[in-house]
Amino acid sequence: MTPTHSVPDAIAHEDVPTVPPFAVVPGVQVKKVLQGREKSVVDVVESAYRLHGAGHSVNPPSGFLRFPDRPTARIIALPASLGGEYDVDGLKWISSFPANVAAGIPRASAVLILNDHATGYPVACLESSIISAARTAASAASAADRLSRGRPRPARLGFVGAGLIARYIHTYLEGTGWFFDAIGVHDVSTESAAGFRMYLEQSGAVGRVTVHASAEELVRNSDLIVFATVAARPHVDDPSWFGHNPVVLHVSLRDLAPRVLLSATNIVDDVDHCLRADTSPHLTERLTGSRDFVHGTLDDVMAGRATVPPGRPVVFSPFGLGVLDLAVGKYVYDEVAKSGELHVIDDFFHELRRHG
């Protein structure tokens, strides 16, 4: 008797799911792909925002792993799925250990896992601290552009917080055509502020660079303000600092007190994600019992569903969506694969027969 098969012989092999190869993409390759392509990465991030806004994504709440013996540390899991031209699932696993800085190593480290859309098998593990920083900076650069339209173009840039994210945001602003007459820096660490100032001067940044003694001094002297700190709770609570109606990129999410947000036009990346985990917008919702202070999302602004009035400060508070990491990670993976330099791990998946 001829044995039967669950898959008819007439079906072509390409119609049968197969186990994909697994690759590792180290940071040196990630950096090589992304360096100098700021405009392309902003386009990738904006397309991910559009797909997310149109419902072509799955972006569950992030999971926070915290430690009783290390209260300042955390590791965050960001699972997501993105459709459209990306058609990829995955997970970013990113740690934040502020104590690392004193030891001379970066606070954050991360990996990104990309999963095959058809089989669910992981296809790649990418070093992701660079991807995470790049997608954050690209989001900020997009917001700076979109939210400054209809008002005088900001000429004075200010950074509250002088770490890696600040450096990447500066790179992405310059890489997308921004020029500034002056750049201000403030950090609670004088060493970090001095180091960032040196970086700015050595990078050839246009405009004078000033280290400010206080956040208030910096805010009052800047038209485009970047908050990129590790603040756990609001430390800026005076709306009068923002009386000159600047554009504020509230990247670190927990710097501004509710009454500052209530005096501004508020744009977020995703309302449900941003109003949780004790962010400044979350605290504002608790205080007011309403989300009415949120004007819309960045996708709303890009699509023209929301317009930003010029006569008051505008604050962009991005929670940081996993779909952005997937979009940038898939872009990196595809570019490395096209170059022929993908490091495939042979036999990574070993037990591939159901019954041995």
289 by Cβ neighbours in 10 Å (0-12 / 13-18 / 19+) ranks as exposed
Domain ranges of the chain: 19-131+323-345, 137-320
For 17-26, what is the mean pLDDT? 94
Instruction: Provide the token pair at 132.
Output: 């995470």
At residue 5, the pLDDT reads 35
Q: Which helix (H) or strand (E) holds 161?
A: none
Alpha-carbon dihedral 173, 240, 215, 317, rounded to 10 degrees:
-50
Between these two residues, 353 and 308, which has the higher pLDDT value? Answer: 308
Q: 200-254 pLDDT, tens per residue?
A: 999 887 789 999 999 999 999 999 999 999 899 999 999 999 999 999 999 999 9
Residue 211's identity, in one-letter code, is V
Q: 177-190 pLDDT, tens per residue?
A: 999 999 999 999 99
Write the CB contacts of 176 (distance below 8 Å, at least 6 apart in sequence): 38, 39, 42, 141, 145
Residue 101's identity, in one-letter code, is V
User: Residue 121 pLDDT more than 90?
Assistant: yes
Look over the chain and give the mean of its residue pLDDT values, rounded to a whole number.
Answer: 93
CA 179 vs CA 196, 220, 247: distances in Å: 18, 19, 15
At residue 353, the pLDDT reads 83
User: Residue 10 pLDDT more than 60?
Assistant: no
For the domain covering 137-320, report its CATH number.
Answer: 3.40.50.720
pTM, two decimal places: 0.92
Cα distance between the two ends of the chain: 24
Percent of the chain with pLDDT over 90: 89
Contact predicate 74/65, CB 8 Å: yes
Lookup result for tokens 């002297």: 221
For 135-153, what is the mean pLDDT? 97
Q: Is the dihedral angle over the CA atoms 241, 245, 248, 254 positive or is it negative?
A: positive
When pLDDT is cut at 50, 70 and 90, the band that residue 8 belongs to is very low
Write the CB contacts of 163 (distance below 8 Å, at least 6 apart in sequence): 101, 107, 187, 192, 196, 228, 230
When pLDDT is cut at 50, 70 and 90, the band that residue 13 belongs to is very low
User: Residue 19 pLDDT more than 50?
Assistant: yes
Q: 55-65 pLDDT, tens per residue?
A: 999 999 999 99
Q: 264-320 pLDDT, tens per residue?
A: 999 999 999 999 999 999 999 999 999 999 999 999 999 999 999 999 999 999 999
CA 327 vs CA 142, 181, 209, 274, 319: distances in Å: 15, 33, 34, 20, 16
At residue 1, the pLDDT reads 36
When pLDDT is cut at 50, 70 and 90, the band that residue 131 belongs to is very high
Contact predicate 198/189, CB 8 Å: no
User: Residue 7 pLDDT more than 70?
Assistant: no
List the 208-211 sheet strands across, edge first: 208-211, 182-186, 156-160, 224-227, 247-250, 314-317, 265-268, 294-297
Fold of the 19-131+323-345 domain: ornithine cyclodeaminase, domain 1 (3.30.1780)
101 by Cβ neighbours in 10 Å (0-12 / 13-18 / 19+) ranks as middle
User: Residue 14 pLDDT more than 70?
Assistant: no
Tell me the helices (H) and strands (E) count for the chain, helix number first: 11, 16
User: Residue 2 pLDDT more than 90?
Assistant: no
